[in-house]
Amino acid sequence: MSAISNSRLNKLELLAAKIRRNVLDICMQRGGYAGQGVALADIAACLYFDEMRDDGKGWFYDRFVLSNGHDAIMTYGALAEHGSYDMADLRSYNEDGTKIDQSPIEGQLGFEITAGSLGQGPSQAAGIAWGERMNGNDKRIYCLFSDGELQEGNVWEAAMFAAHQKLSNLVFIIDNNDLQATSRTQDVLGVEPVPEKFDAFGCFARRVNGNSIPDILEAFAEAKTITDRPYVMVCDTKIFEGIACLKAELPAAHYVAKHQADWDAGLAEINQTISTLGGS
């Protein structure tokens, strides 16, 4: 891969920081999946603002499928920077009667499928990728799901189908944070070694530092060179990565509802990061 320009890297780092700020702003109202949203901000910045092509009409030409509904907070934070959501609306996240659901339904802006029934996304993404290819379209399909979902059998059925159909227009992005609702993934039902398992199913898989923008960009670039099978990014991430004060306090927080002082400390830290990167 060619060297990443300083301007490109700075732009994406600034966007990732702003996405992190948006995630905290949204979740501090009533709690939520802030740790995942903060951790996934680097992937979101690269995906929405560098990787997926726009359609010339203010939206995206390529398609993104979210399988693990709780990671919708990543999409909300990113699409606020895209201008597709207003932060005032997003602050109603998880409020009674809101349209800003924690696990969104099909048709909500930015969401291709009804997310939250874990393990369903990879199969649907594979079907979408197959359909786009059958229709002669060059759209690329990106699907995010969690390492906990690897405990679901239909994820592996999707991998087998996608590899058999040589769906090189499909990229699986796995949030490999070794955490699920009740405990560490490895303690509930271990899933490692993840890349080797997807390779065995006929995919092309690699392990990626999911909190390194250069590594993420390199993986996306490599995916375009693989022309005979789906590509799998096994993204090792850490809850609250990018906001040290929250990462230190809540290293294993699947869902959080914190005191205002904690949210304020996190916002102060990420605002300082944004300022250092030249933003406001």
- pLDDT tens digits, one per residue of 213-262: 999 999 999 999 999 999 999 999 999 999 999 998 766 677 787 788 88
pLDDT at 148: 93
Nearest to 223 by CA among 155, 133, 165, 140: 140
CB 188 within 8 A of CB 158: no
Stretch among 128-132, 142-146, 244-248, 275-279 having the lowest mean pLDDT: 244-248
pLDDT for position 113: 95
Structure tokens at 38: 């903060």
**Amino acid 88: pLDDT:** 96
| Average pLDDT of the chain, as a whole number | 94
Model pLDDT for residues 83-124, shown as the tens digit of each residue: 999 999 999 998 999 999 988 999 999 999 998 788 899 999
Extract the tokens encoding 276: 């250092």
pLDDT of residue 236: 97
Question: What pLDDT, on the 0 to 100 scale, is given for residue 251?
Answer: 65
- Of all residues in the chain, the percent with pLDDT exceeding 90 is 84
Please give the average per-residue pLDDT across 168-173, as a whole number. Answer: 98
Sign for the CA dihedral angle at 144, 145, 150, 152 comes to negative
What pLDDT does residue 2 have? 65
Instruction: Average the pLDDT over 198-213 and give the result.
Output: 98
Each residue of 10-26: pLDDT tens digit?
999 999 999 999 999 99
Task: Tell which residue, 171, 162, 169, has the closest CA to residue 132.
Answer: 169
Helix (H, G, I), strand (E, B) or coil at 120: coil
Binned at pLDDT 50, 70 and 90, residue 179 comes out as confident
Average pLDDT (68-75) is 94
For 95-104, the CB contacts below 8 A with 24+ separation are: 95/29, 95/30, 100/76, 101/69, 101/72, 102/32, 102/33, 102/69, 102/70, 102/72, 102/73, 103/69, 103/70, 103/72, 104/66, 104/69, 104/72
Collapsed DSSP state (helix, strand, coil) of residue 181:
coil
pLDDT range class, residue 36, cuts 50, 70, 90: very high
The secondary structure of 202-222 as a DSSP string is: T-EEEEEETT-HHHHHHHHHH
Report DSSP state, residue 131. Answer: H
CA distances from 270 to 16, 241, 262 (A): 10, 11, 13
- pLDDT value at residue 183: 81
End-to-end CA distance of the chain: 31
The DSSP bridge partners found for residue 54 are: 60
What the chain holds in terms of domains, given with CATH numbers, is: 6-276 (3.40.50.970)
